[in-house]
Amino acid sequence: MPESLLLKTRHDAVLQITVNRPDKLNALNAATLDALDTAFAEAAGDEGVRAIVLTGAGPKAFVAGADIAEMNSLTPVQGRDFSLRGQRMMRRVEKMPKPVIAMINGFALGGGLELAMCCHLRIAADSAKVGQPEINLGLIPGFGGTQRLLRLAGRAAAMELCLLGAPIDAQRALALGIVNRVVPAADLEAETLKLAAQLAASAPLAMRGVIDCLNVGGACGIEEALEYETAQFGLMFATEDMREGTTAFIERRKPAFSGR
What CATH code is carried by the domain that includes residue 240? 1.10.12.10
pTM for this entry: 0.93
Together in a domain, 118 and 238: no
Structural domain of 110: 3-200
Q: Residue 30 has what DSSP assignment?
A: H
Q: Is residue 129 part of a domain?
A: yes
Given the residues 3, 70, 94, 134, the one annotated as active site: 134
- Report the SS3 class of residue 186: helix
Query: Tell me, what's the pLDDT at 66?
Result: 86
CATH code at position 163: 3.90.226.10
Output Rg (C-alpha) for the chain, integer angstroms.
19
Is residue 123 classed as helix, strand or coil in its secondary structure? Answer: strand
Task: Assess contact for 119 and 67: CB atoms under 8 A.
Answer: no
Residues 75 and 39 occupy one common structural domain: yes
Burial 54-78 (b: 16+ CB within 10 A, else e): bbbbbeebbbbbbbeebbeeeeeee
- Verify that 186 and 211 share a domain, yes or no: no
pLDDT for residue 3: 52
Q: So what's the pLDDT on residue 74?
A: 92
- Tell me: do 172 and 228 sit in the same domain: no
Positions in the chain short of pLDDT 70: 1-3
So what's the pLDDT on residue 1? 42
Which of these three, 161, 180, 200, is where a domain ends?
Answer: 200
CA distances 196 to 49, 51, 168, Å, are 11, 6, 26
Q: Which amino acid is at 134?
A: E
Q: How many CB atoms lie within 10 A of CB 184?
A: 10
In a domain, 255, yes or no: no
CA distance linking residue 152 with residue 131, whole number of Å: 13
Number of domains in the chain: 2
Count of H-run helices and E-run strands, the chain: 11, 10
Is 149 part of a structural domain of the chain? Answer: yes
Whether 244 is catalytic: no
Residue 220, amino acid: C
84, 41: one domain: yes
Catalytic: which of 3, 47, 94, 114? Answer: 114
Count of residues making up the chain = 260
| In a shared domain, residues 151 and 221 | no
Identify whether 257 is part of a domain: no
State the DSSP code for 187.
G
Query: What's the confidence (pLDDT) of residue 113?
Result: 98
Please give the Cα distance from 61 to 20 (Å, whole number).
10
d(CA 257, CA 58): 35
Does residue 143 sit in the same domain as residue 95? Answer: yes
211 with 196, same domain: the answer is no
How far, in Å, CA of 52 to CA of 11, rounded? Answer: 10
Q: What stretch of H or E contains 98?
A: none
Asked if 152 and 235 sit in the same domain, the reply is no
Any idea what the Cα angle at residue 149 is, between residues 123 and 147, rounded to 5°?
135
Q: For residues 134 and 164, is the Cβ–Cβ distance under 8 A?
A: no
* Pair (7, 29) in one structural domain: yes
> In what side-by-side order are the strands of the sheet with 181-183?
6-11, 14-19, 51-56, 100-104, 121-125, 181-183
Q: Which segments of the chain does DSSP mark as H helices, in order?
A: 30-45, 68-71, 76-94, 111-118, 145-153, 155-164, 170-176, 188-200, 204-217, 222-236, 240-250
Q: Do 58 and 72 fall into the same domain? A: yes
Q: Are residues 17 and 102 in the same domain?
A: yes
